[in-house]
C-alpha cells in the first residue's frame, strides 16, 4: 500500500529528497505525474482515470508535506523499506490503509513511472 504522512508531521522536509519517485511534496505545492519520473503523455491512475503526465494538480495538503498515492511505491525496487519512514524523526510516514497494493502491484507501478 502507499505511504501517507499523518497530522503529526513537523514539516522538517527530511522525507522529500529521499523519495525515488518524487511522490512527496511540500504542503501547498502542486504536483504532476511527470515530476521526477519518465512518464510522458496520458497516464492511467490507480482508479482507472487518465490524466496528462504534465498536468499540474491541486495539493493534497496545504499545511504539511504529503505523498501522492499514484506515485508511491513504498520504495519497492529501490530500497528494502520506505525511505520516508526511515528518515522521519516523528514517525508520521505510515501505510495508507486506503491503498491496498501487493508487492507485485507496487513493482508494476514503479516500472510505469520509470520506463
Task: Write out the residue range of the structural domain in which residue 27 sits.
Answer: 1-103
DSSP collapsed to 3 states, 41-77: CEEECCCCCEEECCCCECCCCCCCCEECCCCCCCCCC
| C-alpha grid cell, residue 112 | 510505469
16 lies in a domain?
A: yes
**pLDDT at position 1 over 80:** no
pLDDT given at position 94: 97
Query: What pLDDT shows up at residue 92?
Result: 97
Q: Judge whether 113 lies within some domain.
A: no
Total structural domains within the chain? 1
Tens digits of per-residue pLDDT, 54-108?
999 999 999 999 999 999 999 999 999 999 999 999 999 999 999 999 999 999 9
Any domain includes 86: yes
CATH of the domain at 25: 3.30.70.20
| pLDDT (0 to 100) of residue 83 | 97
Q: Is 48 domain-assigned?
A: yes
pTM of the complete model: 0.94
Residues 114 and 30: beta-carbon distance below 8 Å: no
Amino acid at each position: 500500500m502507499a505511504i501517507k504522512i499523518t497530522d503529526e508531521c513537523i514539516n522538517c522536509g527530511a522525507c522529500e529528497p529521499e523519495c525515488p519517485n518524487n511522490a512527496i511534496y511540500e504542503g501547498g505545492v502542486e504536483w504532476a505525474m511527470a515530476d521526477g519520473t519518465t512518464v510522458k503523455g496520458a497516464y492511467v491512475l490507480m482508479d482507472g482515470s487518465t490524466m496528462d503526465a504534465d498536468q499540474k494538480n491541486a495539493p493534497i495538503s496545504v499545511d504539511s508535506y504529503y505523498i501522492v498515492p499514484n506515485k508511491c511505491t513504498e520504495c519497492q525496487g529501490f530500497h528494502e523499506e520506505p525511505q520516508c519512514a526511515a528518515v522521519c524523526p516523528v514517525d508520521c510516514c505510515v501505510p495508507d490503509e486506503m491503498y491496498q497494493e501487493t508487492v507485485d502491484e507496487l513493482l508494476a507501478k514503479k516500472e510505469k513511472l520509470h520506463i
